[in-house]
Structure 1
């Protein structure tokens, strides 16, 4: 049985009884019933009617007048609407542009109206980098600083210029392409790279990203200072520059004739042929060397570096590439060795030459070879490009699999000593990798800092003044400064190991004859640590911009590009675990007598001499902070030294990551202390406090600020420098 829903009460009878219109009692009858219940006299019906008529007559007249006015207004409104409608129709027929817009009563957003976030703007990438400037002055004497800083200031503005950013975006949008066959099915192997890639190669070469290390006044420091600024805008042309630099360094060691004592016996025909071949090789190497270090586009070369094969990965000893000695009489263009094999990864496939490893028939060890990519007639020198790699990042960089068939080459060094020869290149390319990581960190952090200055959050507060966000930026700044010190210490040691005569007066002490040994230890450490820190800082920078940071933004704000490119830095030139193996080997090597040699003793001397040098001119609270830091660093080093002394190589390798970070803590702490002792500058002292005394060596803030300590002012000084005005409420004004 259906039930009819009760209608809701009307507004007039809300809370009372509802009466359908046909059955509702009259007002008079309801009043009569009420008065009868209360004992009042009941009016007769005719009296009620007469009273109501007298009472409502003026009201009815008013209502009638109002009704007449309402009708007049309605007629007028209809008349106006008809006129407006006719006018609109007339205007629409003649022009759509004369339609009267409706007046908006509420503000709302649209594609063209509403709130628009102000875009962050990057300033000069050198003049706004106080930490980098301080690092450079550790290694550059005062009389050279002004000239160097002038050049770097110009480059710091150039790397964010519309021209370079256009080339960078072009290189990203147009990755390399391989045309393996022509229209008639003939093998062509035409490799096409973007115009942006080619232009960036020219710009980097002119700026001295390679050449400055060989012909510049400040050698490696001047070279890598330029490299640091150019790298984040380079479109990864720094990769072929790294291999070019390594190849130039390797060939430079084989330009002078060997110091062989004269023999009283006449040389055999085989010995004579071998000496002639070596002399010809030196002429070939010399021509290639001068091309590798040239700044001129018509002369300069870039080099590849081919070691990785399918069986081995990082274990190059499993190489399947072979080399056979088959000389061609009277030819300097075509080397005497014929190489066949397959290289699984070859970055900079568009290079002009390459250094590679191959196995010879008469020797168990691998040998090192130099080979041009093309012959004089323009044909490839026995190289076939099988395919280009599809990669997560480094998209402008042509990386390929190559088949070598009849490639002509010259041996570099002695047969079977290829690993030792290629180590020269690895030392250089690992330093390049480290500075690329440091530079990428700085660019990402600069974007995050610039965004924090223009982003407004709840309460109208600028993001850079929010304590939690400011603390995060301070942690990122600390890691970036730490990596910068570690990277340029390694650059300095590279320069000293190559040419001790380039040593200039510096507050940093490198014990006599210790540069090469320190470099052997610090190169894998620096490369591993900077790559890991780089990923952390760039990832945090992406998060600092929220969803905007995750997008493919226009340059120079494209953090997505920096993040995906940074991922390869922990893989190139050896993964973290491979580097840890090298690190442990550099600390404890088997001696010829059968035991183990204490190679880490040179690190003890370096730390001891630099901790004990200087610092006496700074007094007061700052002096106390630096003195406490010195004690903490030395105590920590002695604990590490005991661990190295007691542990076997296998045990040290198993705990290698902990050892790696512990050593980085001590070395970076020493460098930060040396820096802060010079003048007690606020941001330098703050870095010592956080890295050494609070051990804030990660972005997770494991230890963070001490209980009750207000670090907001210190955060501001570290992130924005002494120029930032700090208010009492912890906010800052830039």
Structure 2
């Protein structure tokens, strides 16, 4: 039989990436002022259509980068070549106003919501262009906060430009071979030049090896380097703006020089499981010119805005990829016939139950991410309260870790709903899974972020603000809604009480508690944001009121909050014996 004969599969058709989203339109209707929504929504509808047509077509043409270190004559050239499609995708992000929207601040505290809504729609069809865009965003924020007037005049406008021919992208160089996430072991050194006292461009030279650069084709990067005694660990690190090429400002009509022009040598490109289109490399810095950002020996403090921003970008990557995978699964269920061709998958109760469980995760994560973005928007627009600032401190760690943990497994579930078709590369779910898996590692693993959350608890006001926020939303339920949600509300209140007790321990937290405790915070925060939406839906009598209330109920009772609470309680009771046995299970008995 020829392939053209016999049964033919029906191709599925995806909906507009914005209009078909089960969460975003309703969520934005609630949180955006009506005047802003009237301007923003048509733009998102337009982008939602272009993503599944124009942007996806460009995405399919992207190929991995290539590095040629030596030419035919044995001369070192370090020629990095990226595909035209990769460059086009970066150009689309700039033209769409990402990250420009964040800094134009036309919509004040809601500018972050608008820009991240675009990212959420774009992520699944952009080959992780959001990675260099996130670092560009972070670099812009650092320059806005601690850059010199000259940097703000010459570099900041390029980092936030909508013109691809003018715009700069930035990298972020922290990771080195000795320490990974532990920057206290940074080997790269920075030595002042004769121009170090220049108030506009305080110049240093850097020497070292950066093990992981995710934007090797960028124009600039922010980098940590040691300016004091190595015995002082991270307290002797400073932050620098590094030009990838010299001169820093491109000259019109002059060909683009190699990074070797600033003593930057590409050791090799990384061979990664996913994000294969992103030019990630190992770099040697040899007398590389760089400019000090902020006070000397305060590099970790000065780079924190980059970490906060990139962690939220990381969370958007998780929800954006999951959005695409869920849409593919739903679209396929509408065309795939089963039961001898008598039933569509969408009419099979068991199949729909699986789709509903994936949708539940997607809804919870999307509300958690955009709830966190709201706090960031308030802080950047300078309308935040002290409690808002403390909430952002907690949630940037939680949203990144929790979303990374939950989104990848939900994508795997989406793949299985297509059977063997889901495993095919052409469908696109496989690439989303591979690309999203890195979010469990980039910008801190769950365990690293769990320890960061413990550090934040040293200020008692931090989790006091978190508990106050949760109780305020719980108390906003109408009497009728409170009666309807009596059981899940009780469990949510208990979770907040447990969290407060765990993080307020004066004797310190057991080493086995931080990870499950972070996940419990993630469940409680996402449940609270789902509740906030359900309260709004109930009070405004929306058509989705029943579904919104059910989503909150299921997330508390079935989504994992109950189990997470039990795991924290178990971890609190574990001691040295458990730690010793863990070592035995991992490495075998000591001989």
How far the C-alpha of 1:605 sits from its partner, in A, is 1.2
Q: Structure 2 matches for 1:188-227, cutoff 5 A?
A: 188-215=77-104, 216-217=106-107, 218-227=110-119
Structure 1 counterpart of 2:42, from 126, 143, 150 = 150
Check whether the contact 2:520–2:564 (CA below 8 A) recurs between aligned residues.
no
Q: Structure 2 matches for 1:335-346, cutoff 5 A?
A: 336-346=203-213
The equivalent residue for 1:42 is none
The equivalent residue for 1:72 is none
How far the C-alpha of 1:631 sits from its partner, in A, is 3.1
The equivalent residue for 2:226 is 359
1:112–1:334: structure 2 CA closer, same or farther, 3 Å change rule?
same
How far the C-alpha of 1:628 sits from its partner, in A, is 4.2
How far the C-alpha of 1:588 sits from its partner, in A, is 2.9
The equivalent residue for 2:452 is 582
- SS of the aligned residue for 1:299 comes to coil
Q: TM-score scaled by structure 2?
A: 0.88
Structure 2 counterpart of 1:630, from 455, 478, 489 = 489
Check whether the contact 2:143–2:151 (CA below 8 A) recurs between aligned residues.
no
Q: Structure 2 matches for 1:538-687, cutoff 5 A?
A: 538-553=411-426, 557-589=427-459, 597-616=460-479, 619=480, 624-646=483-505, 648-651=507-510, 653-680=511-538, 681-687=545-551
1:701–1:473: structure 2 CA closer, same or farther, 3 Å change rule?
farther
1:125 aligns with 2:14: no
The equivalent residue for 1:167 is 58
Check whether the contact 1:254–1:285 (CA below 8 A) recurs between aligned residues.
no
Q: TM-score scaled by structure 1?
A: 0.71
How far the C-alpha of 1:326 sits from its partner, in A, is 1.2
The equivalent residue for 1:457 is 338
Check whether the contact 2:146–2:294 (CA below 8 A) recurs between aligned residues.
yes
Aligned partners of 2:200, 2:70: CA distance in 1, in Å?
27
Aligned partners of 1:627, 1:615: CA distance in 2, in Å?
12
Structure 2 counterpart of 1:375, from 246, 256, 259 = 246
Which structure has the bigger radius of gyration? 1
How far the C-alpha of 1:285 sits from its partner, in A, is 4.1
Structure 1 counterpart of 2:285, from 404, 408, 411 = 404
The equivalent residue for 1:419 is 300
**CA-to-aligned-CA distance 1:426-472 (integer Å, 9 cap, x gap):** 00000100011111111101101111111111252111222221111
Aligned partners of 1:178, 1:500: CA distance in 2, in Å?
44
Q: Structure 2 matches for 1:225-264, cutoff 5 A?
A: 225-255=117-147
Aligned partners of 1:325, 1:679: CA distance in 2, in Å?
59
Whose RCO is larger (CA < 8 A, sep 6+)? 2
The equivalent residue for 1:444 is 325
1:566–1:607: structure 2 CA closer, same or farther, 3 Å change rule?
same
How far the C-alpha of 1:332 sits from its partner, in A, is 9.8
Aligned alpha-carbon RMSD (Å)? 2.3
Comparing 473-482 and 658-667, the one that deviates more = 658-667
- SS of the aligned residue for 1:236 comes to coil
1:469–1:254: structure 2 CA closer, same or farther, 3 Å change rule?
same
Check whether the contact 1:387–1:401 (CA below 8 A) recurs between aligned residues.
yes
Check whether the contact 1:345–1:400 (CA below 8 A) recurs between aligned residues.
yes
1:497 aligns with 2:360: no
The equivalent residue for 2:571 is none
**CA-to-aligned-CA distance 1:210-241 (integer Å, 9 cap, x gap):** 00111142310111011111111111111000
Count of equivalent residues: 542
How far the C-alpha of 1:701 sits from its partner, in A, is 13
Structure 2 counterpart of 1:483, from 365, 378, 382 = 365
Aligned partners of 1:604, 1:701: CA distance in 2, in Å?
17
Aligned partners of 1:546, 1:395: CA distance in 2, in Å?
25
How far the C-alpha of 1:146 sits from its partner, in A, is 2.3
- SS of the aligned residue for 1:127 comes to coil
How far the C-alpha of 1:329 sits from its partner, in A, is 9.0
**Where does the alignment leave 5 or more consecutive residues of structure 1 unmatched?**
1-108, 256-280, 504-511, 590-596, 704-734
**CA-to-aligned-CA distance 1:178-231 (integer Å, 9 cap, x gap):** 111111111111110001100000001110120011114231011101111111
- SS of the aligned residue for 2:112 comes to helix
1:650–1:674: structure 2 CA closer, same or farther, 3 Å change rule?
closer
Q: Structure 2 matches for 1:234-313, cutoff 5 A?
A: 234-255=126-147, 281-313=148-180
Comparing 308-317 and 512-521, the one that deviates more = 512-521
The equivalent residue for 1:388 is 269
